[in-house]
Structure 1
Amino acid sequence: MSLRILVLEDSRDDVKLIERVLKKDGLVFTMMVVHSRDTFEAALANYEPDLILSDHRLPHYSSAEAFEAFKKKSLDIPFILVTGAVSEEFAVTSLKNGIDDYILKDNLSKLPISIRRALDKFKTESERKVAEEAVRVQNEELLKINGELDSFVYMASHNLRAPLMSISGLVNLIRVEGGEQAAQTSQYLDLITESINRLDGNLRDILDYSRNSRSPLRADPIDLKFLFNGCLEELAYMVPRSEFDFRLSITGGVDFFSDLVRLKIIVSNLLSNSIKYRDARKGKLVIEVQVNTSPENVIILIKDNGTGIHVDYHEKLFDMFFRATENAQGSGLGLYIVREITNKLGGTISFNSSLGFGTEFTLTMPNRHPVPEEDA
């Protein structure tokens, strides 16, 4: 590849010396030589050089003025000073101002090395800028896609849940006003209600997954007793409270801070699984929750006497869309979301379960004390 070199120099002898040194080193180039302000600035606009070599002082122009004109063009090419003796202070100042290098005319043998080094530096810098621009464009596209995905998830969930709630209301209306006819169709209404609740739960799982991926972490004060009782009230459609025993023990007495929305999703999923997979052969379902708070963390143990989980399924329990049986209810996202949220909060989750003997989950979550605001 032939270099296009623009030379600002008023001495023909110096130009010939520069040409001789560069050719001897094997550089392939074409050269335009100018020696005034007007010809230099015209060449910047029209010649499209790959490199500029400039003398320091010409009769009516200086390298400092030439460099200022060069900077205004925003050309991404090297500018090398080729000059006679200059002070060390001038050389340092020139480099600080952005000139890539300076070569003394009595030591032109160093010029080819300086040119190659400067060109390599600009090539590397250009490649870096191209890569950064590609990353910037990609990030903008990802932000756009994420925004569109958020909108889609919200709209899809809203548009699907609205008719579900209408159907649920109509079912309740039939129960209330249908009289004898409603009693005859009670079994079918129960099946419809079950399907509505299942689909609504699947939609909530999708929303929970989207919110966990997008929204920033918070440090809310957590009333643990209120949290667990509130989650149970929201799950009342699954089974009446009279059909299971709920035992809650909270120790430690330390204020606990975490992301309320995310923690509620975790607790609700684990409690709903205990209810969903209760063992009718054991009589009443028993859900036992033990909580211990400390300044560093909170440890939550949720234990039930339900059907339990076969050891063959333990490794896949937190996988996305995993279901232990084809008849399993839910989206297969619940425990996957629980693990993802736990990780997001910086916590850990483990479990112990065997078929026929119930399940025990242990959550360890950091106590996310809010950072005090600095005084204004």
Structure 2
Amino acid sequence: MRKIICVLAILAGTQYMGFAQKKADKTIIYGGDKHYPPFEFVNAKGQPDGFHVDLFRAIGEVMGFQVTFKFDDWSRIRQMLEAEEAIDVTDMFFSAERTQVVEFANSHAVVSHELITRDGTKNIEKISDIANATVVVEKGSILEDLLKKSELQLTVIGVNDELEALNLLAQKKYDYALVSGYQAHRFIAENKASKLSPVGPVVLPLELAFATSKGRTNLIQEINTGLEILKKTGKYSKIYVKWFGEKEESILTKISKWVGLSLFILLVLSVFWIQTLRRMVKTKTVAIKSELNEKINAEKRLKSRELELKEAQKLANLGSWKYDFESETIEWSEEQKTIFGLAINDPVPDFEKFIEFIHPQDREMVTDLFSNACDNPIIYTFEVRAVNKKKENKNLWIKIKPTYDGLKDKIVGLNGTVMDITFIKDVQTKLEIKNEELQKKNLELDKFTYSISHDIKAPIASILGLINLMSIELTDKKSQEYIEKIKLSIDKLNNYVRDVLAFSANENKKINADVIDFEAIIAESFALYKYLKGAKDIDLIVNINLKEEFLSHKSRLLLIFSNIISNAIKYQRHDKSDSYIKITVSGNSEKVDIIIEDNGEGINDEHMEHVFDMFYRGSLNSEGSGLGLYIVREVVHKLNGTIHVQNLAGGGTVFAIGIPSLALEKS
């Protein structure tokens, strides 16, 4: 069965390759370490180069997508990948912990590492010999993670790259550097005066694989398919030889070299063995006692961690399991048995009995995923419904990870976890119901606000018409004074209704991407308030420094400019003859910065922190509704922008607004 699935997977991969080659608009951004030759680095021409660059570009060619490269320090690249920011793929050493935050493709290389020191007389026989030392490693690497978690009480120093680690070691700043063997020997050969040398055996051979952010399993499958195609066509071997080996030699030459090398190594080992035999005999007893104590302590720690793991699984409602193909044995943790309603002493069910717990509508999916996992070394995660032995309905989140044996180059088993998310699903369902009710109430409130505001505007218009008639017929001074006061009050009410409608429109109106003409919007905003008292006495100064097309929402930008401009006109200093509003717009197609400055009355410091609050007015004499600047802030936030205000030293205020392009959201 597994062989048939494997053949079908290869045929599907071949068909997928043909389909993928038809794509022309897909681009994958590869993030690489700029200081990690020969795998990846920035060459003398300032261009991305190395084994991974050639390999991933070849994968893109056979799978039909374009590849662009973004190189930086490794710690920064890792942060961008995990945050799903700016890059799609990078290379990373595989570890079980890292599978919690990234998705791994099949490994394509194994990298060994070595301890480097300045003191060539040191002899490290086991890793515990470096206890309490200071070790420098590449920041954000798996080596840093492993050393920090060790119980050797090491002082671990993280730096930008392995080359920096070796340079710092050569400057006598630390005891050891733990780096890749290739990087170490290359540095030692090029810097003989550094007096650096490897000590002890080669350590930590780690699998290197391409990785994506969590959940991008489709891209992982494409990468695996591309790697398989490159290996079958021989292109992978050519790329590998280009960066790590010489051109092909005859079989006789290779055998001669290996025989000679083996004899040389045998001779060196013989001499070394004779020289160290006496010392080994003297220290053997001490070493045995030390190792025995270590084993005893390790067993104690292991038991303690097993108890901690059980407690952690109980708290998280998380069970674990594993299955070995060769021995056909299945293991379940205690918490997994509890999830499925089994007693601790109950036997572990086989797959046929396990599938009976799964909801009938989900069984086919679960069977297919377990079958695929037997032949594809990628992680599967999925949600299913189940009914346990106690007839309790459960929602479960299952993860399957194939156990890959690199030496045998095949999958030898499966392992994974089962999380009981029934409570979470119940809470989520209740929350969704509450959100629907809240959205319905908000919609009803918006409709009510909009209806009331429109209903008020009609009688306001009628009152203004009557006031105009009264001003014509009642010409005496006292009547005209009363009429003017009534008109001012009606204007305030009209402005309030306008602000309420503007707020409602900002909350509910769909955001559309318009090509923005800032000069036209500013001119339109100023024209809306040319009837205000003092509008003719204020100069409008506009500087637009924007050479690229910018996309945003036109009517919302009009709200921003009109509200700030109207405030500047209302609160200008009438004792000045040079009142102005200065508007500067600068930026590019991705973001604009808007500066709106006036030399008016300014804002009292005691009111500054409240100017954007709803219905806040600095004094009882304020003519506004207290909604203008609140609406401005809400509109800016709706456009994912920022806004700040401060007083100028010579009087007046300045608003600083930053708005990103809506084109970025579309991309």
Normalised TM-score (structure 1): 0.64
Is the contact made by 1:250 and 1:290 (CA closer than 8 Å) also made in structure 2? Answer: yes
Once the two structures are TM-superposed, the CA of residue 192 in structure 1 deviates from its matched residue by 2.1
Residue identity in the other structure for 1:229: A
**What secondary structure sits across from 2:616 in the alignment?**
coil
Q: Equivalent residue for 1:199?
A: 493
Once the two structures are TM-superposed, the CA of residue 335 in structure 1 deviates from its matched residue by 1.3
CA distance, structure 2, for counterparts of residue 328 and residue 240 of structure 1: 16
Once the two structures are TM-superposed, the CA of residue 203 in structure 1 deviates from its matched residue by 1.5
Structure 1 segment 61-210 matched on structure 2, within 5 A: 90-91=352-353, 94=356, 98=360, 115=389, 119=392, 121=394, 127-128=423-424, 130-175=426-471, 177-178=472-473, 181=475, 185-210=479-504
**What secondary structure sits across from 2:625 in the alignment?**
coil
**What secondary structure sits across from 2:475 in the alignment?**
helix
CA distance, structure 1, for counterparts of residue 611 and residue 525 of structure 2: 22
Change (3 A) 1:162 1:294: same
Alignment of 1:357 onto 2:651: yes
Structure 1 segment 357-376 matched on structure 2, within 5 A: 357-369=651-663
Normalised TM-score (structure 2): 0.37
2:546 is aligned, of 236, 252, 257, to 252
Once the two structures are TM-superposed, the CA of residue 96 in structure 1 deviates from its matched residue by 5.8
Structure scoring higher RCO (CA < 8 A, sep ≥ 6) equals 1
- Judge which range, 240-249 or 147-156, deviates more: 240-249
Once the two structures are TM-superposed, the CA of residue 95 in structure 1 deviates from its matched residue by 5.4
Is the contact made by 1:309 and 1:354 (CA closer than 8 Å) also made in structure 2? Answer: no
1:27-69 per-residue CA deviation (whole Å, 9 max, x = no partner) reads xxxxxxxxxxxxxxxxxxxxxxxxxxxxxxxxxxxxxxxxxxx
**What secondary structure sits across from 1:185 in the alignment?**
helix
Is the contact made by 2:551 and 2:662 (CA closer than 8 Å) also made in structure 1? Answer: yes
CA distance, structure 1, for counterparts of residue 584 and residue 592 of structure 2: 10
CA distance, structure 1, for counterparts of residue 649 and residue 453 of structure 2: 35
Once the two structures are TM-superposed, the CA of residue 265 in structure 1 deviates from its matched residue by 1.1
CA distance, structure 2, for counterparts of residue 326 and residue 317 of structure 1: 14
Change (3 A) 1:146 1:182: farther
The percent identity for this pair of structures is 34
Residue identity in the other structure for 1:185: S
CA distance, structure 2, for counterparts of residue 144 and residue 350 of structure 1: 33
Once the two structures are TM-superposed, the CA of residue 270 in structure 1 deviates from its matched residue by 0.4
Residue identity in the other structure for 2:561: V
Q: Equivalent residue for 1:314?
A: 608
Alignment of 1:270 onto 2:564: yes
Is the contact made by 1:219 and 1:370 (CA closer than 8 Å) also made in structure 2? Answer: no
Alignment of 1:213 onto 2:507: yes
CA distance, structure 2, for counterparts of residue 97 and residue 327 of structure 1: 69
Residue identity in the other structure for 1:232: F
2:580 is aligned, of 283, 286, 299, to 286
Once the two structures are TM-superposed, the CA of residue 173 in structure 1 deviates from its matched residue by 3.5
Change (3 A) 1:215 1:310: same
Structure 1 segment 16-31 matched on structure 2, within 5 A: none
Once the two structures are TM-superposed, the CA of residue 152 in structure 1 deviates from its matched residue by 0.6
CA distance, structure 1, for counterparts of residue 578 and residue 465 of structure 2: 30
Once the two structures are TM-superposed, the CA of residue 307 in structure 1 deviates from its matched residue by 0.6
CA distance, structure 2, for counterparts of residue 204 and residue 340 of structure 1: 16
Residue identity in the other structure for 2:589: P
Once the two structures are TM-superposed, the CA of residue 98 in structure 1 deviates from its matched residue by 4.3
Residue identity in the other structure for 1:294: N
1:63-115 per-residue CA deviation (whole Å, 9 max, x = no partner) reads xxxxxxxxxxxxxxx899xxxxxx96744664566499xxxxxxxxxxxxx74
| Higher fraction of strand | 2
Alignment of 1:297 onto 2:591: yes
CA distance, structure 2, for counterparts of residue 140 and residue 187 of structure 1: 53
Once the two structures are TM-superposed, the CA of residue 158 in structure 1 deviates from its matched residue by 0.6
Structure 2: 5+ residue stretches without partners: 1-339, 343-348, 363-387, 397-419
1:263-288 per-residue CA deviation (whole Å, 9 max, x = no partner) reads 11111110011011111111353111
Structure 1: 5+ residue stretches without partners: 1-77, 81-86, 101-113
**What secondary structure sits across from 1:189 in the alignment?**
helix
Is the contact made by 1:309 and 1:353 (CA closer than 8 Å) also made in structure 2? Answer: yes
Change (3 A) 1:236 1:125: same
Is the contact made by 2:550 and 2:590 (CA closer than 8 Å) also made in structure 1? Answer: no
1:348 is aligned, of 627, 635, 642, to 642
CA distance, structure 1, for counterparts of residue 642 and residue 395 of structure 2: 48
Change (3 A) 1:96 1:230: same
Residue identity in the other structure for 1:323: R
Is the contact made by 1:154 and 1:207 (CA closer than 8 Å) also made in structure 2? Answer: yes
Is the contact made by 2:460 and 2:494 (CA closer than 8 Å) also made in structure 1? Answer: yes
Residue identity in the other structure for 2:554: L
Residue identity in the other structure for 1:208: A
RMSD value over aligned CA atoms?
3.4
**What secondary structure sits across from 1:295 in the alignment?**
coil
CA distance, structure 2, for counterparts of residue 346 and residue 122 of structure 1: 37
CA distance, structure 1, for counterparts of residue 505 and residue 625 of structure 2: 17
CA distance, structure 1, for counterparts of residue 509 and residue 452 of structure 2: 19
Is the contact made by 1:244 and 1:286 (CA closer than 8 Å) also made in structure 2? Answer: yes
Is the contact made by 2:648 and 2:654 (CA closer than 8 Å) also made in structure 1? Answer: no
CA distance, structure 2, for counterparts of residue 96 and residue 189 of structure 1: 79
CA distance, structure 2, for counterparts of residue 355 and residue 185 of structure 1: 44
Once the two structures are TM-superposed, the CA of residue 162 in structure 1 deviates from its matched residue by 1.2
Once the two structures are TM-superposed, the CA of residue 357 in structure 1 deviates from its matched residue by 0.8
CA distance, structure 2, for counterparts of residue 92 and residue 358 of structure 1: 74
CA distance, structure 1, for counterparts of residue 446 and residue 517 of structure 2: 30
**What secondary structure sits across from 1:363 in the alignment?**
strand
Change (3 A) 1:228 1:131: same
Change (3 A) 1:126 1:90: closer
Alignment of 1:339 onto 2:633: yes
Once the two structures are TM-superposed, the CA of residue 289 in structure 1 deviates from its matched residue by 1.2
Structure 1 segment 35-74 matched on structure 2, within 5 A: none
Residue identity in the other structure for 1:247: I
